[in-house]
């Protein structure tokens, strides 16, 4: 990026208006971008500690720290040689009107998908994944879900806007095929009858990356996959800044290795959710989320 005094500005602190120093563009639909990053500052479906509406800003704020490497370690290519990425800022919706957020996010995402863009969305609480799945299922058909989380989010007893219920509704709406979907890192109560392949945190912490990756590959096959990462999949030691933290989670090294092992899957959409900066310390959680988001871009780029 060319800025005030430098032809190539890779500063870790200056002029970082878009995530990862990618161009900020509020009119993303008719650009030549391959990938569009959207922030969704929404936390009205949070059951516990609120504040993830500030998640997108926190991820953007730390993201220049990750933007100076030409080839992000350990990848052997440069992201910008393969994908044109822009940040279109945050979804704007009528404050306090949850359904307006749901409608606007689905419409925005569908518009991007209809133009052939890949969407990387930054939450916001996890409820945003339901309208994202609706848009992606319209574009790609019934999806496989690859879901990193401490919680299964398959509860049926919530209100219409509850960040613990998305994956109860998504199969009922025909958006995802539970038999071809996998949940990784779960360590709160869930019902095996829901049908997902669950690699709970106890197993995920004991199994090798190769075994976990094989299980994921065998479950989703070459079905179009939607990849959703609730930052509370990580142990609170690695991600304290989140609404509903649970002990006994995965470490950041293992999560990065699992994600990199998914690079040959047919991933059609991605999000990182539940960063709650007011409970963060030293931007640990924001850094984890930004790193995971960047890895998702490299996973996509590796197949280009």
> Quick one: which segment of 4-12, 97-105, 190-198, 226-234 binds Mn ion (CB under 5 A)?
226-234
> Quick one: which segment of 3-11, 29-37, 222-230, 282-290 binds Mn ion (CB under 5 A)?
222-230
Q: Is 87 in the site for Mn ion (CB under 5 A)?
A: no
> Quick one: which segment of 8-16, 73-81, 149-157, 214-222 binds Mn ion (CB under 5 A)?
149-157
Report the nearest approach of Mn ion to the CB of residue 184 (Å): 12
Q: Is 232 in the site for Mn ion (CB under 5 A)?
A: yes
Report the nearest approach of Mn ion to the CB of residue 24 (Å): 29
CA–CA distance, 121 with 273 (Å, rounded to integer): 8
Looking at beta carbons only, is 150 or 276 nearer to Mn ion? 150
Report the nearest approach of Mn ion to the CB of residue 233 (Å): 7
Looking at beta carbons only, is 40 or 79 nearer to Mn ion? 40
What one-character DSSP code corresponds to residue 214? H
Q: Is 230 in the site for Mn ion (CB under 5 A)?
A: yes
Q: What is the DSSP string of 283-297?
A: THHHHHHHHHHHHHH
- CA distance to 135, 184, 200, 204, per residue, from 245 (Å): 29, 15, 15, 17
CA–CA distance, 258 with 56 (Å, rounded to integer): 24
Sheet holding 197-199, edge to edge: 85-90, 35-40, 118-123, 267-273, 225-230, 144-148, 182-184, 197-199
Report the nearest approach of Mn ion to the CB of residue 271 (Å): 13
Q: Is 235 in the site for Mn ion (CB under 5 A)?
A: no
Report the nearest approach of Mn ion to the CB of residue 100 (Å): 24
Please, which residues bridge with residue 271 across strands?
121, 228
- CA distance to 34, 69, 86, 124, 158, per residue, from 41 (Å): 23, 28, 18, 5, 21
Q: Is 180 in the site for Mn ion (CB under 5 A)?
A: no
x/- letters, 150..179, toward Mn ion (CB under 5 A): xx----------------------------
Report the nearest approach of Mn ion to the CB of residue 139 (Å): 26
Total binding residues toward Mn ion, as defined by CB under 5 A? 5
CA–CA distance, 68 with 228 (Å, rounded to integer): 26
Looking at beta carbons only, is 18 or 164 nearer to Mn ion? 164
> Which of 43, 87, 125, 149 contacts Mn ion by CB under 5 A?
149
User: Of 54, 48, 43, 58, which Cα lies nearest the Cα of 284?
Assistant: 58
x/- letters, 89..118, toward Mn ion (CB under 5 A): ------------------------------
- What is the CB-side half-sphere exposure of residue 138 using CA atoms within 13 A? 14
Looking at beta carbons only, is 165 or 291 nearer to Mn ion? 165
Helix axes 284-302, 252-260, angle to 10 degrees: 10
Helix axes 98-114, 129-140, angle to 10 degrees: 30
Looking at beta carbons only, is 49 or 217 nearer to Mn ion? 49
Report the nearest approach of Mn ion to the CB of residue 155 (Å): 11
Site residues for Mn ion per CB under 5 A: 149-151, 230, 232
């Amino acid at each position: 990026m060319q800025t005030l005094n430098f032809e190539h500005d890779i500063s870790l602190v200056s002029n970082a208006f878009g995530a990862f120093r990618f161009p900020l563009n509020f009119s993303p639909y008719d650009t030549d971008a391959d990938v569009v990053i959207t922030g969704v500052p929404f936390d009205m479906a949070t059951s516990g500690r609120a504040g993830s509406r500030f998640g997108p800003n926190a991820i953007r704020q730390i993201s220049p720290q990750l933007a100076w490497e030409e080839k992000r370690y350990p990848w052997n290519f440069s992201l910008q040689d393969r994908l044109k990425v822009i940040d279109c800022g945050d979804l704007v919706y009528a404050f306090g009107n949850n359904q307006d957020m749901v409608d606007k996010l689905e419409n925005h995402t569908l518009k991007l998908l209809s133009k052939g863009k890949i969407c990387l969305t930054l939450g916001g609480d996890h409820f945003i994944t339901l309208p994202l799945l609706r848009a992606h299922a319209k574009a790609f058909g019934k999806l496989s879900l690859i879901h990193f989380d401490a919680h299964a989010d398959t509860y049926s007893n919530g209100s219409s806007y509850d960040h613990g219920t998305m994956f109860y509704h998504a199969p009922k709406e025909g958006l995802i095929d539970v038999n071809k979907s996998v949940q990784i890192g779960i360590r709160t109560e869930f019902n095996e009858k829901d049908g997902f392949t669950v690699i709970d945190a106890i197993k995920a912490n004991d199994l090798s990356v190769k075994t976990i990756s094989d299980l994921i590959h065998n479950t989703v096959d070459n079905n179009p996959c939607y990849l959703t990462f609730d930052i509370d999949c990580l142990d609170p030691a690695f991600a304290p800044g989140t609404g509903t933290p649970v002990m006994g989670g995965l470490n950041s090294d293992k999560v990065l290795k699992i994600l990199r092992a998914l690079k040959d899957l047919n991933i059609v959409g991605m999000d990182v959710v539940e960063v709650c900066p007011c409970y963060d310390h030293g931007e640990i959680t924001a850094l984890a989320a930004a790193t995971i988001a960047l890895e998702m871009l490299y996973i996509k780029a590796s197949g280009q």
